[in-house]
């Protein structure tokens, strides 16, 4: 059972989406919910339908005390590694909030080191903590929209379908058409395609 830290008024939840995909940024969100303006139906974004996520994302943006997005691009992911890039993107989301929280609840088991705000990591936080659920929904909707935009730019890769994850379809398209500038070069399937092109 999760218990909120005592004695803090403004508590932000932060989560990331997009650690597994082979393409694009890792996107994070930070949300401070308004206890006087509750939102029904918050849950881990992966467990919600797309329609429900979109509706909740709008409601979160309207009702939250503050919300923001953060990101780390594919180049940063390749340079740092996906975990470090995710943590940096989380810090960026928290620092972009228009009101700074007194405490941050982070999904996962690691706390970003440059937060400079008291924080707690919570494994499966996106299922246990409303603020983290809200952050996971905003991050997922934002990243999915980026993949849909990339799909319009490069329709042959079917990004709207697989959202950049290493599905059978994505791996087939990658083998057929090669890696894009947006692909993460440090990820094994992309690296393999690049190596086969250079030989």
Say yes or no to pLDDT of 79 above 90: yes
Cα separation of 71 and 92, whole Å?
Answer: 7
Q: Is 15 annotated as a binding residue?
A: yes
Say yes or no to pLDDT of 20 above 90: yes
In this structure, what CATH number is given to the domain that contains residue 32?
A: 3.30.420.10
Q: Is 78 annotated as a binding residue?
A: no
Q: Where are any strands of DSSP class E within 73-175?
A: 103-107, 119-122
Q: How confident is the model at residue 176, as a pLDDT? A: 95
Q: Is 44 annotated as a binding residue?
A: no
Tally of domains within the chain: 1
Q: How confident is the model at residue 197, as a pLDDT? A: 77
- Mean per-residue pLDDT of the chain: 96
Global pTM value: 0.95
Cα separation of 147 and 168, whole Å?
Answer: 17
Q: How confident is the model at residue 45, as a pLDDT? A: 93
Calculate mean pLDDT across residues 147-165.
97
Q: How confident is the model at residue 199, as a pLDDT? A: 60
Q: How confident is the model at residue 157, as a pLDDT? A: 97
Calculate mean pLDDT across residues 157-163.
96
Cα separation of 102 and 65, whole Å?
Answer: 13
Alpha-carbon torsion, ordered 128, 106, 80, 116, to 10 deg: 180
Q: Angle 188-198/168-177 helices, nearest 10 degrees? A: 20
pLDDT tens profile 22-53: 999 999 999 999 999 999 999 999 999 999 99
Q: Where are any strands of DSSP class E within 46-198?
A: 66-72, 103-107, 119-122
Map tokens 């508590």 to a residue.
Answer: 11
CB atoms within 10 A of CB 106: 27
Q: How confident is the model at residue 27, as a pLDDT? A: 98
> Does a structural domain hold residue 1?
no
Q: How confident is the model at residue 113, as a pLDDT? A: 86
Q: How confident is the model at residue 91, as a pLDDT? A: 98
> Does a structural domain hold residue 4?
no
What is the three-class DSSP state of 115?
A: coil
Containing domain of residue 43, as a range? Answer: 11-197
Percent residues over pLDDT 70 in the chain: 99
> Does a structural domain hold residue 177?
yes
> Does a structural domain hold residue 186?
yes
Calculate mean pLDDT across residues 126-143.
97
> Does a structural domain hold residue 143?
yes
Say yes or no to pLDDT of 71 above 90: yes
Residue 196 pLDDT class (50, 70, 90 cuts): confident
Map tokens 């999904």 to a residue.
Answer: 107
> Does a structural domain hold residue 29?
yes
């Amino acid at each position: 059972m999760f218990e909120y830290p005592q004695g803090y008024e403004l508590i932000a939840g932060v989560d990331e989406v997009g650690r597994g995909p082979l393409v694009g940024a890792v996107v994070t969100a930070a949300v401070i919910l308004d206890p006087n303006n509750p939102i029904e139906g918050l849950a881990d974004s992966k467990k919600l339908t797309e329609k429900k996520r979109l509706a909740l994302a709008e409601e979160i943006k309207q009702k939250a005390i503050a919300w923001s997005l953060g990101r780390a691009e594919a180049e940063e992911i390749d340079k740092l590694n996906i975990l470090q890039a995710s943590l940096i993107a989380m810090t960026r989301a928290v620092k972009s909030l228009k009101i700074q929280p007194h405490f941050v609840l982070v999904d996962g088991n690691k706390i970003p080191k440059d937060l400079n705000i008291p924080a707690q990591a919570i494994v499966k936080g996106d299922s246990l903590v409303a603020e983290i659920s809200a952050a996971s929904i905003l991050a997922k909707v934002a990243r999915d929209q980026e993949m849909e935009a990339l799909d319009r730019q490069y329709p042959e890769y079917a990004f709207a379908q697989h959202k950049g994850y290493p599905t059978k379809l994505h791996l087939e398209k990658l083998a057929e058409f090669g890696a894009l500038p947006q692909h993460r070069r440090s990820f094994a399937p992309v690296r393999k395609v690049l190596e086969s092109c250079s030989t």
